[in-house]
Amino acid sequence: MKSYSDRVVWITGASSGIGAALARAFAADGARCILSARNVDALGQVRRSCREPDRHVVLPMDVSRFDSHGELVGRVYDEVGPVDVLVVNSGVGQHGGAVETELDIVRRIMDVNFIGAVSPARLVAARMAERGSGQVVAISSVNGRISVPWRSTYCASKHAMHGWFESLRAELSDRGVRVTIVCPGYIRTSISKHALLADGSEFGSVAPQHLSGMDADVFARRALRAIRRQRAEVHIGGPEKWAIQVFRFAPLLFRLLVRGYGRKP
């Protein structure tokens, strides 16, 4: 696809970070964006930062309220039109030990990161299949391919995304629906600041890896190129993305190295 001019692109988790940057990138490419998240004020700011802000739509959405998703999808199709690209991006980070993290926090992370992506994707993908065209973009993580200490449930949620969206691709490939999985490395966002500790409280500061990470708008431009080419999967970031290849070709070495990764919260 040469451009997304006049295409409808729906982005969840669009109020900040990667989602906001993707909104600006798609808007600059001519798309009409539907911006969803819980923070309506932040969504309004993102819309104003986009090219031709009046073309874009703010649609408040809590991805963990699964019972509301059917109504929201219906509103989008009735009021805006068919979705050409769905970007499921909402997510919450983690900074807590696997044993110490309370089960309700495990469930909360899975609800947002995994089921919160699957729920709107299955509804929109069904309509895309009926129409015979469309693209679903799942924003995963390098941690969707490797696992590291103190991120057990976050890693699990992203691994689960890969399993589900790979199956979706295989099932709908002959019905005109394309699936792209994007795996960011360290991107300069506040996801680590709002990451959940073992007791459910927030980490409260931006991790050094994110402070020195890739600029979110640079990431978005690279991601847009891969999405436009309908790549099956793309890894975008700094040197950390090569950990996927280390794990693939030297898993024992990776497992030895990863023991010293990060710090205990």
Query: Catalytic residue positions?
Result: 154
Q: What is the 3-state secondary structure (H, E, C) of the chain?
A: CCCCCCCEEEEECCCCHHHHHHHHHHHHCCCEEEEECCCHHHHHHHHHHCCCHHHCEECCCCCCCHHHHHHHHHHHHHHCCCCCEEEECCCCCECECCCCCCHHHHHHHHHHHHHHHHHHHHHHHHHHHHHCCEEEEEECCHHHCCCCCCEHHHHHHHHHHHHHHHHHHHHHHHHCEEEEEEEECCECCCCCCCCECCCCCECCCCCHHHHCCECHHHHHHHHHHHHHCCCCEEEECCHHHHHHHHHHHCHHHHHHHHCCCCCCC
Chain mean position to CA 165: 12
